[in-house]
Structure 1
Amino acid sequence: MAPKSRLVGPPAKSASPSFVPWLYSELKAPENSSVVRSVAVFAAAVALFSSSYAEYLLPP
């Protein structure tokens, strides 16, 4: 029976990057800019309407 041999070398690189760098690159991609901008405006509107400054928008 032939002896079992194991090749030792550098660790294999993963095929895809980790989540945080991947998410950052996806958010910075030009084809996603309209979606990112829309989500940011929606979040700002929700923050404004849930704050005490929303009372200034009510009619007198």
Structure 2
Amino acid sequence: MAPKQNSLRVSQGRVVGKQGSKGYFGEAYSAITAPENASVVRSVAIFGVAIAFFSSSWSEFLLPPL
């Protein structure tokens, strides 16, 4: 009798076909650190830094002297 084949496939180093192996935070971390999402993550981070800067007292250094 031939051995049973496993239904899991390996795609780019990750196991595909196994549902629910990671939790919510594990999946979110995988999505954030994925190379195809790097530009979006970088843009959101720069936007967050800009908002934090403009809402702080450091933004007063951009005002011209009176």
User: Could you say whether these structures have the same fold, taking a TM-score greater than 0.5 normalized by the shorter chain as the test?
Assistant: yes
Write the mapping of 1:17-56 to structure 2, written as runs, cut at 5 A: 17-56=22-61
Alignment length (residue pairs): 47
**5+ residue gaps in structure 2?**
1-17
Normalised TM-score (structure 1): 0.73
The superposition leaves residues 2-45 of structure 1 with CA deviations (integer Å, 9 ceiling, x where unpaired) of xxxxxxxxxxxx71321100000100000000000000000000
1:15 corresponds to 2:15: no
More helix by share: 1
More strand by share: 2
Identity of aligned residues (%): 53
**5+ residue gaps in structure 1?**
1-13
Q: Rg bigger for which structure?
A: 1
The list of structure 1 runs, each at least 4 consecutive aligned residues, that deviate by more than 6 angstroms after superposition, is none
